[in-house]
Amino acid sequence: MTRYAHAHPEARRIVFWRHGRTEWNHSGLFQGQEDIDLDDTGREQAARAAEVLVTKQPTLIVSSDLRRAADTAGMLGELAGLPIVYDPRLRETNAGSWQGLSFAEIDEQYPDDNAAWRGGDPEVRAGGAENRIDVGERMLAAVTEAVERIGPAETLVVVSHGGSIRAALAALMGLPPERWGAVAGLSNCHWSEVHEVVDRDEALFSWQLTEHNVGLSSLPEEPLEG
């Protein structure tokens, strides 16, 4: 698949891929770090999206160790002939007492914290557990280590979760935490892509967002081949 036209030919690329749908996604429940499996729709989403992402010729695939992400990553690993490297730092936000509740229930039981969370407050703790800064820091550390394992012009695929990817993108691009909420979340099995900024001494940033929340619904219906 064609790289971003304005990227330096030696720029490394990171693709952040959210896992496929689960029954809890479908039911509108906050999963956090609960280990929920993909549902039938999620497995189909992952299989179809993997057919697209393999054309990006990944060099390394790293994944959250939660089953919904690990199984999504496995679909791509099988097509690309690559093993999956699992890293618990790529898990979703630990949402404490919010996990397993519907968003309506969270709003009813924790109105002040939920309003702050939805408003983008980076310091409010989801269900008394992690805040967005915590998530961004561990995601950034994991991604930074992983990208050092690939060479110039190569591609890293990070398979993770909606909230975690959102925090990772914002942290990687150097946005101040109070502005992280400006980055929209990803739909199930959608992905975002960043390219490394190379040989641009005037640039005030190291990574540039070139695709965001891309998925099968936003791609042509024609098959990739034949």
Paired tokens of 87: 């890293």
Separation in Å, CA 122 to CA 82, 101, 179, 187: 35, 21, 9, 21
Q: Residue for token digits 């509108």? A: 28
Helix (H) or strand (E) holding 92: none
Nearest to 4 by CA among 184, 175, 197: 197
To the query of whether residue 92 is one of the catalytic residues in this protein, the response is yes
Catalytic residue (choose from 19, 161, 190, 195): 19
Nearest to 126 by CA among 171, 93, 157: 93
State the Rg of the chain over Cα.
17
Q: Are 52 and 27 in contact (CB under 8 A)?
A: no
To the query of whether residue 34 is one of the catalytic residues in this protein, the response is no
Catalytic residue (choose from 78, 92, 145, 222): 92
Up-side HSE of residue 205: CA atoms within 13 Å toward CB?
A: 14
Q: Are 173 and 14 in contact (CB under 8 A)?
A: no
Which residues are part of the catalytic machinery? 19, 92
